[in-house]
Structure 1
């Protein structure tokens, strides 16, 4: 499918370019359609949402399968080696809950998005329980990028925004490394500008 050169790329936010972030970096290798509730009463905002990488889902599936394997091994050791038959019940509950989480994980990942606006960054997640958090640039105290071992293996990062109020902190999972670094640099630059009143 070819794209009209006069048409801006999907999810391009004109404000991103004015804030120093190339929208192509934020949207490269991410989902292309944000999943939102179908209800007319859903929460809506004007602007362009950027999404996370599909590799986040793969990373989370692998991590959860490792947890399931460890739980099953521990339950089998307790049951057959130490003859503790009760261990099968909590192990079964943990395995079933983890598998249920894995079933809804792809839908949850498609509902995660963030938007750069003039005065704040907005983060949203959830379909049934939709949550939208707006963090003013001037309130940011720390922008942190973290990667676990499996995150590095699948080239995804988590960006954490810390503010003075702990309840307004935001964690954006599943960013590509390039997007995480570009977003961090932009947020730091804009936050400094807002704090100095320029």
Structure 2
């Protein structure tokens, strides 16, 4: 049972800590092309695993490799279904003092990174991401556990976000 946000005396809305996707935030989704990137990565992994199973089955001729082949195929179908939902769960929101990043299906994760805590911001794009015109923005803080990343952004949006975060981080750090 989810708790409805109740107004506080000051007019603010109380948010349930167990509900990691607050409705009071304007979430921006990542590109749905990230689904294709993840599906290609899955396909590469499946080809390697299926090749190993087939090679083992041919060389050893034991039924266990047939079972392994079936399990790998089952895993591939399950993972392909989950990838679409997982990518749609990613989102980020820029607020006045911090950046929120959400992701996860079974275990939902909400990372809140204050601009003043950011040390530097990376924009990366591997060959597969570049082929789909995507990039990843990675935020680094002093505590590695509080780092956050936003994958599946168009390069122009990734550059805009990097520049904004860098400028806000520098402004907030000067006030410390």
Does residue 83 of structure 1 match 2:60?
yes
* Aligned equivalents of 1:115, 1:186: Cα separation in 2: 13
Counting only pairs closer than 5 Å after superposition, residues 162-181 of structure 1 correspond to structure 2 as 162-181=140-159
Cα pair distance change 1:114/1:99, threshold 3 Å: same
Counting only pairs closer than 5 Å after superposition, residues 19-58 of structure 1 correspond to structure 2 as 40-41=2-3, 42-43=19-20, 44-58=22-36
Q: Which residue of 2 aligns with 1:139?
A: 117
Q: Which has the higher contact order (CA 8 A, sep 6+)?
A: 1
* Aligned equivalents of 2:161, 2:84: Cα separation in 1: 23
Alignment counterpart, residue 153 of structure 1, candidates 125, 128, 131 = 131
Cα-to-partner distance string for 1:78-121 (whole Å, 9 max, x where unaligned): 221x2263444445434432321210211221111100011100
8 Å contact from structure 2 (residues 134, 155) kept in 1: yes
Q: Which moved more, 1:182-191 or 1:41-50?
A: 41-50
Does residue 195 of structure 1 match 2:150?
no
Q: Which residue of 2 aligns with 1:74?
A: 52
Aligned residues: 159
Can you give the 5+ residue segments of structure 1 that lack an aligned partner in the other structure?
1-38
Cα RMSD over matched residues?
2.0
TM-score by length of 1: 0.73
TM-score by length of 2: 0.81
Can you give the 5+ residue segments of structure 2 that lack an aligned partner in the other structure?
4-18
Q: Which residue of 1 aligns with 2:107?
A: 129
Does residue 59 of structure 1 match 2:37?
yes
8 Å contact from structure 1 (residues 49, 115) kept in 2: yes
8 Å contact from structure 1 (residues 71, 95) kept in 2: no
| Structure 1 residue 127: Cα displacement | 3.7
